[in-house]
Structure 1
Amino acid sequence: MTNIDFTAEVEKRKDDLLADLFTLLKINSERNDDEANKENPFGFGPRKALDKFLELAERDGYVTKNVDNYAGHFEYGDGDEVLGIFGHLDVVPALAQEGWNTNPYEPVIKDGNVYARGASDDKGPTMACYYGLKILKELNVPLSKKIRFIVGTDEESGWGDMEYYFAHVGLPEPDFGFSPDAEFPIINGEKGNITEYLHFDGKNDGDVVLNSFKSGLRENMVPEVATAVISGKGLKLSPLTEALEDFVASYKSKALHFEVTENNHKFTIVLHGKGAHGAMPEKGVNAATYLALFLTQFNFTAGASAFLSIGGNVLLEDHEGEKLGIAYVDELMGNTSMNAGIWNFEEGKDATIALNFRFPQGNTVERMQEILGKLTGVTEVTVSEHLHTPHYVPGEDPLVQTLLSVYEKYTGKKGYETIIGGGTFGRLLKRGVAYGAMFEGETDTMHQANEFKPLDALFKSAAIYAEAIYELAK
C-alpha cells in the first residue's frame, strides 16, 4: 500500500468534485427513443452527458475518444496490460408523480446528502472514480499499466452502447477491470439477466371492461405507480372509492394510496406503491400487482381476466418465481428473482407483462419460457434479445484480492465476495467486477424517487478508488 494520504487529497478537491458532479447531474440523460437518430443513438440527454464528461476529461489533459456518441473513453499511462474502468452516464426515468420532493435534475445538498437522479447510480460513483484517477495523474504517481476509463450511455436499458463500442472502438478489450456501479466490498459474481414477455388477448366484453392498464417505466424498476381505466354495468364512483379504501386498509403495511376519478362513464384508478431496483424486487411494493389484485373482484372476461388474475394472484409478491413455477436455486449463486416491470393492456390489442429475471447458473431462459407458456390465458411468451449470462470471477483472483484489501484498509471491515442479481458493466470483461460505491449500511435509493448519495460516502469512495487504481496499476 502506498503512503499517499488519499483521503487528504480528496479533501483538497472535494469542491471541484462536487462542481463537476453537479454539472452531470443537471443533465437529464434518460434514454428517449423518440429523439434517437444517427447522431443521438439513445436521445439527446445521453449524448449531452457523454459530451460533457469527455469535455471535463479534455480540460484535465486527457486525449478522449467518442465512439459515434454511443460511448467514449480516455487513456492514461503506458504498459502492456490495460486496466479498464467502466462507468455509465445514462439514468432511469424520474417522474415527479412518483414521489420526488425536489427536481431530480436540479441537484441539492440536504442533511449531508446530494439528491438527484444519478447521484447514486451512476454519475456520483463515476465521478468519484474519475477523481481517484485524477489524483494519481496530478501527483504524477508512476504506474506500469495503461488505464482506459470508459463511459457508456445505455447501461440502464439494453447495453447497446457497449455492444457498439467494442465493435467499433478498434482496440483490444482491457485485460481486467472494474465498474464503480454497485456496492462495497466487491461484486465478483452477477446472475444472468433476461426479460420474458407474457402476452394476452386484449379482447374483453364482460359486465366490466378493462379499457387499459399501464404501469412501469423500465423492466429493471419495480413499478411505483399503476393506472387502470375500467367501465361497465353497475360501476359507481362512491362504492368504487369505498372498495379501494377497504383494499388499501387491508394492506396497511404496504403504505398503498390511490386516486380514483370518473369521466364519461369510465373510471380511472391510480394506485401508488414503492419503487426499487428490479434486481431486488422485495425492497419495493409493486403497484401493478396490487392494482391487478384489486380488480380481480370484478367480472372481467377473456384476456383481461387472465391478465389481472396472473398479475394479482400469481405475480403478487412472487419475488423468486415460486408461484410462477420457475424458481431455481444454485448453491454458489443463489436464487432466481423476478420483477414484473412493465405492464401494457389496451382493449382489443395484444397485451403484455414484462418479467425481468435474474437467474443463477443452472437455470436457463428456455426452461423459464417453457414453464411460462403453460400459464392459463397466456397466448405467447417472447424473450428479449438482451441476454446476460451468469458471470463469476473467483475470490482468489488477484483482482478480487487487491480490491478487497483496499476496502479493508479504508473501512476497517473484513472484505468478502458477493454475488448479486443486478447487472453491471463489470461483467463485460472475463476478469471484471463491480466495486462500490455503496457502503454497507448505506441507504439504497437506486432506481427510486429521491435518489441520493451521502457526501461522506462519495468522498470516501473517491479515496478508495484512488488507492485501488494505484494498487492495480502500480
Structure 2
Amino acid sequence: MKINENILNSKYFDEALEHLLKVLAIPSEQGEPVKGAVFGAKTKEALEYTLNLAKKWGLKTHLDADGSYGFLEYGQGSDVFLIAPHLDVVTAANPDKWEHHPYKPIIKDDKIYARGALDDKGPAYMVLFAFKYLMDNGWMPKNYLIRIVFGLDEEKEMRCLKKYVRDFGAPTIGFTPDGVFPCVYAEKAWSNVNLTGKYNSSLTIRKGIESQDYNVVIDHVIYNGDKTGEIAKYLTKHKIENQIINSELHVFGKPAHGSMPELGVNAAIWLLKAIDEVKIHHPLAEFVSKYFFDSYDVKKIFGDLTDETGGLTACIGYIKLEKDKYKLGINFRVPATKLDQIHVIAPLEQKTEPYKMKVAIKGNLIPIFFRKDRKIVKTMVEVYNKVTGNNLPPFPMGGGTYAKVVPNLIACGIIDNLDNASAHQYNEWVDIENLKRALNVYANLIVELEKS
C-alpha cells in the first residue's frame, strides 16, 4: 500500500491534533486507586477518551476490569501485532515554574507545550491516527491481528502491560512508540533502590510534592532544621534557587528524565551537600555529598561500567528525612551487559556499610538487546530512513520502555536526538514537524512490519 503523505499530514494530522490537545488536558498522573481505576481516576479518563474514539470508528475495544490497560483491535488471527503506547504521565510538579500550565496545552512557535506532549501522548496519538488512515483507505492485515494497547503505569512499574501479557500472552511482533527513531536496539537495565537508616537529629527534609517518581530529578525539597541561614547562603553562592517560607527552607532545582540526570539540577543533592558543607553531621548528607554530588555516573562507588549502551547513571528521585530515620530513593540505569546485583547492589552495600544504611531493591527491569541484523531492526531502520531521507542507525538508550516487559516488542520514535528531549522537564514540548514525521513513519512501519 502506498501512503499518501499529503492526505496524511493534512486531514489526518489535523484530526489527530484536535484530539491530542484534548487528551493532553487530562492530568493523567497516577492517583489513589478507585474501583475500576487501579492507577487513579484521571489515568482511566484518558484511556476511556481514547477507546471511545476507536468505538466511534467501529472498532472492537477492550477495557481491563481494574482499568490497568485498554486496547482496540483490527483484523483476525491468532498471531498478534502489538502496538503499545502509554497515556500516564509523570507528576507535573511546581506548575508555577512552567511558562504555560502543564494541562492547558498550547501551540507556540510550532511546538505543543504540555505534560505528556512528548512522553507519550503525542506519539500515542500519531500511531493511533496513522492506523486510522490505513483502515480508512482499505488496508487490511493479512498475517496478524492488529492490537493497539494503551497502558497506564509505564512511568512507574509497568504493571499495566505485565498484566496484559498475563491476560493475553506475548505478541508475535510489535513496537512501542516511545524512545528514539529509527528504533532502540538496546535498553539499559533499570533498578529502583532504597537506602534507609536510623539516625537521631533535629533535621527534616521532604519533597515539595510527595510522589514516588524515582525516574525524575527532584526539583523541590523543603528543609526544617539548624543553620537555615548558612545553608541558604551556600546555595545562593552556587546559584541554587532557594526561599525561606514560614521558617522552612525551600530549595528549587530543575527536573529531568531519570535516564539523563545531567540535564537537571537535583535540589535534594544540593541541599544535602550544603548541610554537609556547613558542618551539620548527618550520615545521609555525608554519603550523598561524598559519592553523588556532581557525579551522575557515581564512579567512586561503581567504577566505569560503560559498554555500547553507555555508562551507568544514577538519579536521586525520592527523599524523606525525619528526626529519627531517613529514606533515599535512587533510579539506576545499568549498562545492558552488567548485572545489578553484582555491579550495583554489592558495591553499594560495601560503601554504605560504614554509614549503617540498608540497601533494598524496590523494583527492577531487565535490559533489552536486539541484534542489529535482526529483521525487525533492519525493517525499522529501512522504513525510517526511506521516509525521512536520513541515514541513521539504530540506537541504544538509557530510558526504559514497555519493551522491557513485553516479549518481542521494540521501541521507536518520535525524536531522533535525545539531546533535545524534554520529557519529565518543565515546559515539556514536542515539535509539530516531529509529530507529522512520526505520523508518516508509523503508517509505513505498520504496513511493512505486518508483511513480515
Q: Distance in 1 between matches of 2:234 and 2:302?
A: 33
Q: For the Cα contact (< 8 Å) 1:180–1:437, is it kept in 2?
A: yes
Secondary structure (helix, strand or coil) at the match of 1:188 reads: strand
- Confirm whether residue 369 of structure 1 aligns to residue 345 of structure 2: yes
Partner of 1:419: 396
Partner of 1:297: 277
Q: Could you tell me which amino acid in structure 2 is paired with residue 257 of structure 1?
A: E
Instruction: Give the deviation of 1:114 after TM superposition.
Output: 1.0
Residue by residue, what CA displacement relative to the aligned partner does 1:45-93 show, whole Å, maximum 9, x if unpaired? 1111111111111111210011121101111123453211001010000
The match for 1:225 among 220, 229, 252 is: 220
Partner of 2:242: 258
> Aligned ranges for residues 348-363 of structure 1 at < 5 Å?
348=324, 350-363=325-338
The match for 2:413 among 411, 425, 436 is: 436
Q: For the Cα contact (< 8 Å) 1:30–1:91, is it kept in 2?
A: yes
Q: Distance in 2 between matches of 1:438 and 1:38?
A: 37
> Comparing 458-467 with 434-443, which one deviates more in the overlay?
434-443
Partner of 1:64: 61
Q: Could you tell me which amino acid in structure 1 is paired with residue 147 of structure 2?
A: R
Residue by residue, what CA displacement relative to the aligned partner does 1:291-320 show, whole Å, maximum 9, x if unpaired? 11111133434xxx1111122232112211
Partner of 2:360: 382
- Confirm whether residue 85 of structure 1 aligns to residue 110 of structure 2: no
Q: For the Cα contact (< 8 Å) 1:193–1:389, is it kept in 2?
A: yes
Percentage of pairs with the same residue: 28
Q: Distance in 2 between matches of 1:276 and 1:152?
A: 22
Secondary structure (helix, strand or coil) at the match of 2:277 reads: coil
Q: Distance in 2 between matches of 1:343 and 1:7?
A: 50
Partner of 1:405: 382
Q: For the Cα contact (< 8 Å) 2:235–2:270, is it kept in 1?
A: no
Q: Could you tell me which amino acid in structure 2 is paired with residue 26 of structure 1?
A: A
Q: Distance in 2 between matches of 1:274 and 1:452?
A: 16
Q: Could you tell me which amino acid in structure 2 is paired with residue 225 of structure 1?
A: H
| Residues 98/400 of structure 1: CA separation in 2 closer, same or farther (3 Å cut) | farther
Q: TM-score if structure 2 supplies the norm length? A: 0.93
Q: Distance in 1 between matches of 2:361 and 2:208?
A: 19
Q: For the Cα contact (< 8 Å) 1:214–1:345, is it kept in 2?
A: no
Q: For the Cα contact (< 8 Å) 1:288–1:311, is it kept in 2?
A: no
Instruction: Give the deviation of 1:337 after TM superposition.
Output: 1.4
Instruction: Give the deviation of 1:247 after TM superposition.
Output: 3.8
Q: CA RMSD in A?
A: 2.0
Partner of 1:21: 20
Q: Distance in 2 between matches of 1:126 and 1:312?
A: 40
Q: Distance in 2 between matches of 1:404 and 1:118?
A: 26
Residue by residue, what CA displacement relative to the aligned partner does 1:308-344 show, whole Å, maximum 9, x if unpaired? 1122232112211212x12452533332211111111
- Confirm whether residue 177 of structure 1 aligns to residue 151 of structure 2: no
The match for 1:140 among 134, 138, 141 is: 138
Partner of 1:248: 236
Q: Distance in 1 between matches of 2:164 and 2:356?
A: 38
Q: Could you tell me which amino acid in structure 2 is paired with residue 29 of structure 1?
A: S
| Residues 336/442 of structure 1: CA separation in 2 closer, same or farther (3 Å cut) | closer
- Confirm whether residue 448 of structure 1 aligns to residue 447 of structure 2: no
Q: For the Cα contact (< 8 Å) 2:366–2:404, is it kept in 1?
A: no
Q: Distance in 2 between matches of 1:327 and 1:120?
A: 33
Instruction: Give the deviation of 1:20 after TM superposition.
Output: 1.0
Instruction: Give the deviation of 1:414 after TM superposition.
Output: 1.0
Q: Distance in 1 between matches of 2:84 and 2:46?
A: 15
> Aligned ranges for residues 458-469 of structure 1 at < 5 Å?
458-469=435-446
Q: Distance in 1 between matches of 2:35 and 2:367?
A: 32
Q: Distance in 1 between matches of 2:406 and 2:30?
A: 24
Instruction: Give the deviation of 1:151 after TM superposition.
Output: 0.6
Instruction: Give the deviation of 1:442 after TM superposition.
Output: 7.4
Instruction: Give the deviation of 1:163 after TM superposition.
Output: 1.9
The match for 1:338 among 310, 314, 318 is: 314
Q: Distance in 2 between matches of 1:203 and 1:19?
A: 55
Q: Distance in 2 between matches of 1:290 and 1:96?
A: 18
* Unaligned stretches of 5+ residues in structure 2: none
* Unaligned stretches of 5+ residues in structure 1: none
Q: TM-score if structure 1 supplies the norm length? A: 0.89
Secondary structure (helix, strand or coil) at the match of 2:149 reads: strand
> Aligned ranges for residues 275-290 of structure 1 at < 5 Å?
275-290=255-270
Q: Distance in 2 between matches of 1:100 and 1:331?
A: 36
Residue by residue, what CA displacement relative to the aligned partner does 1:92-129 show, whole Å, maximum 9, x if unpaired? 00023561122211111111111111111001100001
Q: For the Cα contact (< 8 Å) 1:327–1:336, is it kept in 2?
A: no
Q: For the Cα contact (< 8 Å) 1:84–1:178, is it kept in 2?
A: yes
Instruction: Give the deviation of 1:406 after TM superposition.
Output: 1.4
Instruction: Give the deviation of 1:441 after TM superposition.
Output: 7.5
